[in-house]
Structures are given as structure tokens and as C-alpha cells.
Structure 1
Amino acid sequence: MVRRTGRRPGNPDTRDAILAAARSAFAEKGYDGASIRAIATGAGVDPALVHHYFGTKDKLFLAAMNMPLDPGEIIPEVLAGDPEGLGERLVRMFLTVWDSPAGKAGVGLLRSAMSSDWTARMFRDFVVTQVLRRVMNAVPMPPEEAPLRVSLVASQLAGLAMVRYVLKVEPLASTPREVLVAAVGPTIQRYIFGDLPKPKAAD
């Protein structure tokens, strides 16, 4: 008889209760503010059971978002190579994911985020904590500049996703991927490594 390995599926009701508590906690407190212990309390289970079903907080967050992929598995490809090409690699990875079947989930989330504060916060936390923060943590930069740089990168990529995949504005919607990589990559590169403008002194 062949013995199966890995985590057993467990009780679907328990798993659903944990996911419901997680969605509520992440939406109310954000990714950083929500804790495994608080989520377990909300679900009426022991924290060890949360780890049993989902492993890490990252995995639980992805399950709560119903995301079909784990950025932690593809971000290392973006970080590989010379820093000079990081902007282009980030745009290429972004477009590759959105052009894949997994991108359909992203389109649905982006549309929902436009009308739902809950989805907007979850989607924002996903982009910042699961994608951009992983990239920025690997790039040396003054810590006081990181939040603005992350926000600038997020604004560029979110706008690109909205125009290309939700609004489907032509010719951007059908422009070949590598053309967009070459066009948008340098802007992302500047947001990450370029000089930030200094605020002007008030008159």
C-alpha cells in the first residue's frame, strides 16, 4: 500500500473557519497588524492548528486572498542578475503573471478593489507585502526612502494592470510584452535607484 506524504486536508469546516477569521483580521488590521494568534482566537482554534493547515502567515494570507501563485517562489528570479536590469525584470515578471491563467484572478481582484474597501485593502497588502517588499528588502536603500519608492513602483504597476487588463485600452492592451518591458522598465528602475526630488521650501 502506498502511503501519502504531506499535510492531511483535515476538517473542511475548521479550515473554512480559519480562512474566514483570517480574511476578517487582514481586512481590519492589515497584513502586518494581523497575528496568527488573533486569527486562531477568531476561528476558535489553537494557533498550532493554523500552522498545521496553512504553514506560515504568508501562506495563510495567500489562501485568504485565493491567489493561485506564491510570489515568494518567483521573486528570486527577479532578484537574480545585475541591479541595472531589476526594473525590466520586475516588469517582465509582472506582465508574465498577468498574461497567464493566474492573471484572471488578479483582474477579478482589481475590479473588485474599485468598489470594495475590504478587497482594496487586501489587494494593496498583497502587492506591498508579498511582492514589492520582497524586492525592496533585497535592494540597498535608505530606509526613510523605501516607503515612497515602494509606493511609486506600486502606482506604476497598478496603473499598467488597470489600463492593460481591466480597461483594455488600445494599443496598450495588445502591445507585445517585451515592448512594455523596454518602455516601463526604466521608469521602475528610476523609482528604485534614482534620486528622489526634494520637497521645495515653502515661500
Structure 2
Amino acid sequence: MSVGNPRSGRRPGRSGTREAILDAARERFAEAGFDRASIRSIATAASVDPALVHHYFGTKQELFTAALELPIDPEVVLTQVAAAPLEELGETIVRAVVTVWDSPVGTPAVAAFRSLLTNADPALARSFLLEIVLKDVRARVDSPPGTGDKRSVLAASQLAGLLVTRKLLHLEPIASMPVDELAKAVGPNIQHYLTGDIG
């Protein structure tokens, strides 16, 4: 019987390696933000080879998602938003986000976001929001130049209120409003923040 060597970059990890990587990732992401925290620096903090980080988690965004204990990859929503014409961003964002909230992963997703906002390091929540969720939108709506940050955060505040109203407080009629109806009602407000005159 022959015993082959492990595949390159896939060294067997010691007990607790995955948890050590997650702990190091949370610390580095909180300190440096998503963009500046490198896989190498996270691996160094966890005392593992960078290849092990990729082995356990894949990409840096997948590692960030795991570190935040999110039950769904943000790309599910982000790809829909990225494909939307600029003038339809408001309704598209509402439809994509609320569809996730109302899906089978909705309950753990809402619980994860609530935990992220109340129990986790606020720097992690800010990094997730600004450097992953809003990054591409911020660039698209930066007109006039310099307003992208303000526009995207105003839009996020509207979504946060919608989350609280629909999923935490269960206020009617918003709690049971069909997704398309909700998108048509709330989407224009978000669209105004993204592309309208915000003074």
C-alpha cells in the first residue's frame, strides 16, 4: 500500500487550527479593516501557514463571512445589486435584501446581523458594511465626487430601519408586505439617497 504525500498547500492542521484562524481573523479585521488585513498577517497571528487559511476558508471574503458567522455569502445579494442599472438600485437592493431575510436562511441571517450589531466588535460591523456590502455601490453613486460615502450610509440607515421594522418588531403592514410591494414602496427612498439631491 502506498501512502501519498498531502497535496501541496494542504498541510494537516492541528486541533483547533480552524478556530485559531477565525480568532486571528476577527482581531485583524477589527484592527485593520477588510481591505488592509492580509491572509498572510492573519496566518502569522494564528501561527499557521497561509495555505492553511485558504484550505479552510477559501478567499478572504469567505474567511470574513465565516469570522462574522454569517449563514449566507454576501455575494448572493451583491451580484444582484451589481447587475442592476443605476436608476434601479433602490428597488433592487430592497428586493434582494428582503428576499434573503424571508428565505430559509432568513432567521439565522437576521440573528447574525443582530449579534454583529450588538455583541461583536463595532469595528467588524463597520468593516463589513463599508468594505464589503457598500463598497461597489459607494463607487457607483459617488456623484458629485465625494458624496459616495454619505449616500451609501444614508441608504444603509434606511435598510437597517426596514430590518428592525419587518423582522425584529414585526410591525404591520410592513411585516407581511409582499417583497415586490415593499420594494416599490421603500426603493424610491433609497434611490433618492443614492442618486438624488441630498444637499
TM-score normalised per structure 2: 0.82
Q: 1-side partners of 2:160 and 2:196: how far apart? A: 20
Q: 1-side partners of 2:175 and 2:124: how far apart? A: 26
> What 5-or-longer segments of structure 1 have no aligned partner?
1-6, 198-203
Contact conserved, 1:87 with 1:185, CA < 8 A, in 2?
yes
Q: 2-side partners of 1:115 and 1:139: how far apart? A: 29
Q: Secondary structure at the match of 2:134?
A: helix
Structure 1 residue aligned with 2:126 = 124
- Compute the displacement of 1:103 (Å): 1.9
Q: 1-side partners of 2:39 and 2:10: how far apart? A: 20
Contact conserved, 1:87 with 1:186, CA < 8 A, in 2?
yes
TM-score normalised per structure 1: 0.81
CA offsets 1:24-75 (integer angstroms, 9 cap, x no match): 2223333234222221111001223322332321111011112222222442
User: Using a 3 Å threshold, how does the CA distance of structure 1 residues 65 and 117 change in structure 2: closer, same or farther?
Assistant: closer
Contact conserved, 1:27 with 1:122, CA < 8 A, in 2?
yes
Which of 162, 165, 179 is equivalent to 1:163? 165
- Compute the displacement of 1:138 (Å): 4.3
Contact conserved, 1:78 with 1:93, CA < 8 A, in 2?
yes
CA offsets 1:147-195 (integer angstroms, 9 cap, x no match): 1111101101111111211122222212222221011101111111112
Contact conserved, 2:141 with 2:151, CA < 8 A, in 1?
no
**Letter aligned with residue 16 of structure 1:** E
User: Using a 3 Å threshold, how does the CA distance of structure 1 residues 121 and 159 change in structure 2: closer, same or farther?
Assistant: farther
**Letter aligned with residue 52 of structure 1:** H
CA offsets 1:83-117 (integer angstroms, 9 cap, x no match): 22121011100100111122222321333245325
Identity %: 49
Q: Secondary structure at the match of 2:118?
A: coil
> What 5-or-longer segments of structure 2 have no aligned partner?
1-8
RMSD: 2.4
Which of 94, 104, 108 is equivalent to 2:107? 104
Structure 2 residue aligned with 1:4 = none
Q: 2-side partners of 1:110 and 1:71: how far apart? A: 12
Structure 2 residue aligned with 1:3 = none
**Letter aligned with residue 62 of structure 1:** T
